[in-house]
Structure 1
Amino acid sequence: MNLSLSSSSSPPSNPAVSTSSSSSSSSSSSSSATTSWISVIIRGRFDSSASMKTSANSASGSPAGDSPGPVVKKNNFHGLLFKYGPKPIQVAFKTGDYKQQVIFIGGLSDGFMATEYLEPLAIALDKEEWSLVQILLSSSYNGYGTSSLQQDAKELDQLVSYLINKEDSEGVVLLGHSTGCQDIVHYIGTNAACSRAVRGAIFQAPVSGREYRATLPETAAMIDLASTMISEGRGSYLMPREASPSSPITANRYYSICSYMGDDDMFSSDLSDEQLRMKLGHMANTPCQVIFSMRDEYVPEYVDKKALVDRVCKAMGGAEKIEIEHANHSLSNRVDEAVEVMVDFVRREGPKGWDDPWH
């Protein structure tokens, strides 16, 4: 489906430039089109029709087409809307028709066009011959309270599989915003077959939902209630409205986000170095960039942000650290800096060709 995606506003997610790097980066270029080893595992590959390819080329603003680029005007994307899975919510929107993709994964309550930097990022990626893919998950918008990191990882793998088998993808870079960062960590940790397609990961605003929620007066009592419900076998039941006034939330999901060492608890400042390594250490095998907003409104004032981002990058095995001064959670006040560092990382850590699983 070739169409324009537009919106009058992009609400910020509700979560749970000085540059330094402790890991080496190398220049790379996309590999020539070859048969992916994953195509042997995942059957059902087919080529898109010529008409679909033609329309997508035009939408991307590539040299082959005369149509506008990926962003026609403010809050108006031009690209391809497609289904990547069987559920009604499982749709994604792609700008550009290239074999290298950056997949944007939003935070709690996010959906399409979640952050202001997506528009200039789509334009910048198009110039580099990369597509930007925005994904809707079962947890998107108000669905996060009845979903889980496990479900997000499963659906993200379905999207990557689709890009490999139906779009001839040569590899992807994952871009997580807020809780989208937790999704990346969990997905890479699953070692799913299609996760081998991930050539790099960008963590934008990797913050602790637990530490933020701990500043709210009702949280302690709600954690106790969630724990009781889970022990009684009612973990999939909904919590009272005061636990999450904006969206329904199950006891399992609430406990995952708000409890110490819950599944979602990955970036808290009170976790020990060993606990951070246990949560994040497997990311050492993937080139990573951590973009931390030094005025993130969802990080409590008592948290030493510089120390936290240092410890997170170290736990990941030496991720590239980007500190953006005065930036807010969604980087809406530092859009240019955000796009610059993201595109620079994509240039250096993009697809280098498929790995041979037998070597």
Structure 2
Amino acid sequence: MNLSSSLLSSISSVRTKISSTPKMTKTPSETDVGGGASVNRKNQFRGSLFKYGSKSIQVAFKTGDFRRQVIFIGGLTDGFLATEYLEPLSVALDNEKWSLVQFLLSSSYIGYGTSSLKQDAMELDQLISYLINKEDSEGVVLVGHSTGCQVIVHYMGTNAACSRAVRGAVLQAPVSDREYKATLPETAAMIDLASSMISEGRGMDLMPREADPGAPMTAYRYHSLCSYMGDDDMFSSDLSDDQLRMRLGHMSTTPCQVIFSMADEYVPEYVDKKALVERLCRALGGAEKVEIEWGNHSLSNRVKEAVQAMISFIKTEGPKGWDDPWS
């Protein structure tokens, strides 16, 4: 076969395979997942790649071809293949007749510093609209990792039309960016600078590189992530019960599961994790609490427990018929 015909054959392939980034590379092994299924850990997905919006970044990848979807929303610096549990989760979901959707936002990879929760919520709404109109979706469950949890909370507070399609939410590692950033020596001075820039009407201007060496960062987003009661400050241990209810209370009408890693490396040592997760679940209106002992931030060391918890919740809280969000 010549090069041209080989290329055409590849383009016409019905299935798309996305291999892992180096971050995900490991020796394949047999891993048990929820429901007793077994998956050969190749760190690969088969499914469909599609555009859900007009921006070049607005690309999504869906495994399975079902009318119920779990949408994964990663944290800062994340994109496709963000956590180790996604592959076994997709297999377990397939067994339950659910699709897994991973998607890129303007804030993905190094875009988080020039974006916002408002922008994330708008793009999430576009994705859900696509699934309703193009995939005839019967409903979605949102799974947030790290800062992705903030995106879910913000989105569900917007009352966007498509938010009615959300049948449940999983918050995995809902931890405070502010409390972690406060452990870094440069943070206090950078917060003062960001506040000054915002007061001068320069909130969308970029901060100095030392604010975040990994990504360009606007004064607004730095302030949002790092300042007390900034827009991203939803899960801090020093917020009062009233403040937590003000930030999270609207989630009480959405079935919610909180998966908290009891050895999360981004939670300062002084934080009482058990007390914090209890307060968060109460503020969320009685969310289901899952504490994973020795689990790290991304649960890469507790993949099986992560998948089992999510599948158990999704099977219980999944859509049992839902209203047309457009009516």
TM-score normalised by structure 2 residue count: 0.90
Match of 2:16 in 1: 3
Is the 8 Å Cα contact of residues 72 and 78 (structure 1) preserved in structure 2? no
Match of 2:31 in 1: none
Is it true that 1:133 corresponds to 2:101 in the alignment? Answer: yes
Aligned counterparts of 1:124 and 1:174: Cα–Cα separation in 2: 16
Match of 2:144 in 1: 176
Q: What's the CA shift for 1:73?
A: 5.4
Q: What's the CA shift for 1:9?
A: 2.7
Equivalent position SS for 2:151: helix
Q: What's the CA shift for 1:78?
A: 0.7
Report which structure shows greater RCO (CA 8 Å, sep ≥6): 1
Q: What's the CA shift for 1:270?
A: 0.1
The letter of the residue matching 1:313 is C
Which of 327, 341, 354 is the aligned partner of 2:295?
327
The letter of the residue matching 1:137 is L
Match of 2:179 in 1: 211
Structure 2 regions of 5+ residues with no counterpart?
A: 1-13, 25-38
Which of 74, 84, 88 is the aligned partner of 1:106?
74
Q: What's the CA shift for 1:202?
A: 0.1
Q: Deviations over 1:47-89 (max 9, x none)?
A: xxxxxxxxxxxxxxxxxxxxxxxx8851211110000000000
Aligned counterparts of 2:165 and 2:15: Cα–Cα separation in 1: 26
Match of 1:315 in 2: 283
Q: What's the CA shift for 1:8?
A: 4.0
Is it true that 1:189 corresponds to 2:180 in the alignment? Answer: no
Q: What's the CA shift for 1:225?
A: 0.1
Is the 8 Å Cα contact of residues 10 and 115 (structure 1) preserved in structure 2? no
Q: What's the CA shift for 1:357?
A: 7.3
When the two chains are superposed, the root-mean-square deviation of aligned CA atoms in Å is 1.6
For residues 203-352 of structure 1, what are the structure 2 equivalents within 5 Å?
A: 203-352=171-320
Is the 8 Å Cα contact of residues 9 and 75 (structure 1) preserved in structure 2? no
In the superposition, relative to structure 1, how do residues 284 and 152 fare at CA in structure 2: closer, same or farther (>3 Å)?
Answer: same
Task: Using the aligned pairs only, state the percent identity.
Answer: 77
Aligned counterparts of 1:141 and 1:358: Cα–Cα separation in 2: 32
The letter of the residue matching 1:288 is C
Q: Deviations over 1:202-227 (max 9, x none)?
A: 00000000000000000000000000
Q: Deviations over 1:218-239 (max 9, x none)?
A: 0000000000000111100000
Match of 2:34 in 1: none
Match of 1:147 in 2: 115
Aligned counterparts of 1:219 and 1:99: Cα–Cα separation in 2: 45
Aligned counterparts of 1:174 and 1:8: Cα–Cα separation in 2: 23
Q: What's the CA shift for 1:355?
A: 2.6
Aligned counterparts of 2:23 and 2:154: Cα–Cα separation in 1: 26
The letter of the residue matching 2:16 is L
Residues matched between the structures, number = 301
Match of 2:321 in 1: 353
Which aligned segments of 4 or more residues in structure 1 are displaced greater than 3 angstroms? 356-359
Aligned counterparts of 1:147 and 1:357: Cα–Cα separation in 2: 27
Aligned counterparts of 2:58 and 2:65: Cα–Cα separation in 1: 20
Q: What's the CA shift for 1:354?
A: 1.5
Is the 8 Å Cα contact of residues 21 and 81 (structure 2) preserved in structure 1? no
Q: What's the CA shift for 1:2?
A: 3.4
Q: What's the CA shift for 1:330?
A: 0.2
The letter of the residue matching 1:6 is S
Structure 1 regions of 5+ residues with no counterpart?
A: 12-70
